[in-house]
Amino acid sequence: MRLISLNVIYTLWLREMKRFLRAKSRIVGSIIQPLFFILILGTGFKSLGRFRGLPLGTDYLSFLVPGIMAMTILFSSMFAGISVLWDRQFGFLKEIMVAPVSRVSLVLGRIAGGMTTAIIQALLIFFISLFFGFRILHLLNLLPAFFIMLLIAVSFVGLGVALASRMEDIHGFQLVMNFIIMPIFFLSGALFPLEGLPGWLAKISYIDPLTYGVDALRGVLVGSFSFSLALDLTILLVFSLLMVAIATYLFNRCEV
């Protein structure tokens, strides 16, 4: 048995894509909340003037949009773990677990599917934000931005799959996800500059992996960095590899 099967990964990825594209309400619902943040916060707070810690030459809308893109990826990625629980409930998980394929491929297939849907939703937010006046430094900056979004998505899909592998109740999973997601989001600097936070709260933000994803995404899109790009990418890469490893380990021990 091969450790990694591209056919298995592709099959599970394609399944997630079909499920996502067929659920039109899911696509619409996934962009309503981010648009609310952009429309209300981005355009409303923009009229209030500069925030403490906001980089010179950067208005609030330009500061906000990369953070909302990261938020969209976070929410979509983490809740990708629900598919594990649905598959367990309806018997599909048992069928693929007894198939003669490696579980590493099964995990990678799920991560690939969740990652792709999360990035699609973030790109939708990006293109819609252009109509509200958001502008990036250069069109070519979308390439490194895409890589950063990929690292964020892989990290939190892996975390979602890892947690779902140890749970059986869908409602309990949603409660746990909300308990984890909200602190990660609000401490990441997606909505406000870290430089304006009290010292003790800023230190807590520094241990939030999404902080570095938001900073990297904001830096390559609008040129506003709180850390170096090398530091951001290093932490994201290490965290993503760690989450994939943990998700694979816990999925291997998953009981169906």
Give the tens place of pLDDT for each residue, 61-113. 888 899 999 999 998 888 777 777 777 776 666 666 666 677 788 888 888 88
pLDDT value of residue 43: 65
> Cα separations (Å) of 242 from 7, 33, 157, 185, 239?
24, 29, 12, 20, 5
Residue 220: pLDDT band (50, 70, 90) is very high
Amino acid (1-letter code) at residue 181: I
